[in-house]
Amino acid sequence: MKHVFIINPVAGFENSFLTLSNRLKGFKDKYDITIYVTSSIKDATEYVKDFCKTHDTEDIRFYSCGGDGTLGEVVNGIAGKDNASVTCFPCGSGNDFVKSVGGKERFLDLEKLFNAENKKIDLIKINDEIYSLNALNIGFEARVCRVANRLRGKSKNPYLRGIINALFTGMKNKIFVEVDGEVLNPDGTLLLCTFANGGYVGGKYNCAPKFKLDDGLIEVCLVKPVSIFTLLKLIKKYEKGEHIDSPKFKKILKYKQAKNIKLYSDKEFDLCVDGEMYSSKEFNIEIKPQLLSFALPEITK
């Protein structure tokens, strides 16, 4: 098997990507290792696609070394490739997806990563061209993501700055959400809506506590517009994943599981896909059951 490490040098490494490169030197006599350092957005996707084409008769495991954005790029490069699997060496600022599969510590032992077994999991597909491993967001959270992305590298806490901005600009959004033929918000308004394969967004928010990575369903969580005061009062329950069953959310929340989703508005709106931003007046979303092979190392006891 070929082991290909995709390293994002600006994704939050504590001691820079050279630290990982030095650690890998001790494994090169034992494993067939390739290291690729990305240089721009979407670079990882193109490199992975090309690598798969030139090694289509060999088993390949790609190691995403960065955050959710890097992992998303690698996934978009290998989606549907029978001879390729992916895992991660998490070193980004959020690492939302790994929270759904045992946490960051599970993926930091390189020997266990090399010997991890593959598990088939679902992917979300958007407009028949983009794949999401973890979650999509519209409304308030998408506004947070857009501002945070713009400030990354320029601010000590870009996500907090994004939240503050969204409290003034993203509290009421006009986007219709149609889930398996049912419009969840007939008036077209919402505070936020998350479409999840994994369980977490924003670094710590358990948006989809009922998630399963291989059940062929998307977790849909729509919250209606509320005041800033109400949002601040309820945010802790949303963070802990207690919003689904909380009486306080009963009148403002709709939670569904779906296979096909349509989003539309009369104006362009943002869709945040695993941290990356896309804009359109319409998005079509569907689940692709067990399309991806994801390598999960043994849990350290």
Q: What is the pLDDT of residue 15?
A: 52
Domain 2-124+291-296 fold:
Rossmann fold (3.40.50)
Nearest to residue 88, comparing CAs of 79, 275, 70? 70
DSSP string, 73-134: HHHHHHTT-TTEEEEE---SS--HHHHTTT-GGGG--HHHHHTPEEEEEEEEEETTTEEESS
Ranges of each domain in the chain: 2-124+291-296, 135-287
Can you give the C-alpha Rg of the chain in angstroms? 19
Render pLDDT for 109-146 as a digit per residue (tens, 0 to 9).
999 999 999 999 999 999 999 999 999 999 999 999 89
Question: Does 178 score more than 60 pLDDT?
Answer: yes
* Per-residue pLDDT tens digits for 237-294: 999 999 998 998 999 999 999 999 999 999 999 999 998 899 999 999 999 999 999 9
The mean pLDDT of 35-61, rounded to a whole number, is 93
* Residue found by looking up tokens 């505070």 in the block: 191
Alpha-helical (H) ranges within the chain are 17-24, 43-54, 68-78, 96-99, 110-114, 140-151, 158-169, 228-240
* Helix 68-78 and helix 43-54, axial crossing angle in degrees, nearest 10: 30
Q: Which long-range contacts (CB under 8 A, 24 or more apart) does 161-169 make?
A: 166/140, 166/141, 167/228, 167/231, 169/143
Assign 148 a pLDDT band (cuts: 50, 70, 90). confident
What's the pLDDT score for residue 67?
A: 86
Specify the amino acid at residue 129.
E
Q: Is the per-residue pLDDT at 33 higher than 90?
A: yes
Q: Please report which confidence band the pLDDT of residue 157 belongs to, taking 50, 70 and 90 as the band edges.
A: confident
CATH number 3.40.50.620 is the correct assignment for the domain at 135-287: no
pLDDT at 215 over 80: yes
What is residue 161's predicted lDDT score, i.e. its pLDDT? Answer: 86
This model's pTM is above 0.85: yes
- pLDDT band per the 50, 70, 90 thresholds, residue 301: low
Q: What is the mean pLDDT of residues 71-80?
A: 94
Cα–Cα distance, 122 to 100 (Å, whole number): 13
Residue 19: pLDDT band by 50, 70, 90 thresholds?
Answer: confident
Question: What is the pLDDT averaged over residues 78-91?
Answer: 92
Q: Do domains 2-124+291-296 and 135-287 have the same CATH topology?
A: no
Please tell me the predicted confidence (pLDDT) of residue 12: 58
Integer Cα distance of 211 and 197 in angstroms = 6
In angstroms, the CA 163 to CA 261 distance is 26
> Is residue 48 scored above 80 in pLDDT?
yes
Residues 6+ apart with CB under 8 A from 156: none
